[in-house]
Amino acid sequence: MLKMPLRFVAIALFSCILALLSAFHPTPSYGDTGIVAQANPDQSRFRVYDAWQLVYEQLPNFPQENQYVSAATGDVAEDNTLISRLVRYHVLIKGRSPVHRLDWKLTLADYLGVNEVIFPASYPGQDALQTNPMTGDVAVIQSLNRVAREQLISTLIGVFAEAGWTASTPTADLPSNSVSPPSSAGSSQTAPPSTVHFGTGAADLLLP
């Protein structure tokens, strides 16, 4: 006769424990990038898709490749740039860290055709643009010389580092911390050296 009441008491206690655990460990929220959001209320939100604007501020002469036409509107998708697609490929497709220099070298090696194969069906922009931009993007990256590639990698790492991304952050749990675009006045960033040329390049990306 005592077994039934004890069973109900045990069930009730178990339910209370689950409720307490849920209160202290809430389900993480997800932003539109599919990455766990950890927004800083003191700053405006920074997303993976925002990085390209900051990169072009520091590398204004880097090819934008934003002449492609939107499949949805029929207008030129000016915000769909080479850097935005490169960042999405690196972080969202390949799951590589945006603050590891070697990871960026591996990504550029993909574009150079000396590492992993880039598949047109999954390349960023292929479903949003009337023309798949992969061929054009690959051609631009392959035209960069070694100095230009290093400048690009350093700029990308700097942008994400300022946003609060760290080398120890797991790729599957990257923060959506915010970052304010660097102002031109008083910026510690130096202008791209005059020796950076977006011309012919070599495939020695992984050399020290």
Q: Does residue 179 lie in a domain region?
A: no
pLDDT at 42: 31
Q: What is the pLDDT of residues 156-165, one digit of tens each?
A: 999 999 888 8
Q: Does residue 132 lie in a domain region?
A: yes
- Distance, CA of 61 to CA of 116 (rounded, Å): 28
HSE-CB at 126 with a 13 A cutoff on CA atoms is 14
Q: What is the pLDDT of residues 65-85, one digit of tens each?
A: 999 999 999 999 999 999 999
Instruction: Output 27 or 164, whichever has higher pLDDT.
Output: 164
Q: Does residue 93 lie in a domain region?
A: yes
pLDDT at 181: 36
Q: Does residue 87 lie in a domain region?
A: yes
pLDDT at 47: 72
Q: Is the pLDDT of residue 8 over 70?
A: no
154: containing domain: 30-173
Domains contained in the chain, number? 1
Q: Does residue 181 lie in a domain region?
A: no
Residue 203's pLDDT band, with cuts at 50, 70 and 90, is very low
Average pLDDT over residues 101-113: 98
pLDDT at 84: 96
Q: Please give the mean pLDDT across all residues of the chain.
A: 74
Q: Is the pLDDT of residue 178 over 90?
A: no
Q: Does residue 208 lie in a domain region?
A: no
Q: Does residue 9 lie in a domain region?
A: no
Q: What is the pLDDT of residues 115-127, one digit of tens each?
A: 999 999 999 999 9
pLDDT at 37: 32
3-state secondary structure the chain: CCHHHHHHHHHHHHHHHHHHHHHHCCCCCECCCCCECCCCCCCCCCCHHHHHHHHHHHCCCCCCCCCCEECCCCCECCCCCHHHHHHHHHHHHCCCCCCCHHHHHHHHHHHHCCCCCCCHHHCCCCCCECCCCHHHHHHHHHHCCHHHHHHHHHHHHHHHHHCCCCCCCCHHHCCCCCCCCCCCCCCCCCCCCCCCCCCCCCCCCCCC
Q: Is the pLDDT of residue 60 over 70?
A: yes
Q: Does residue 196 lie in a domain region?
A: no
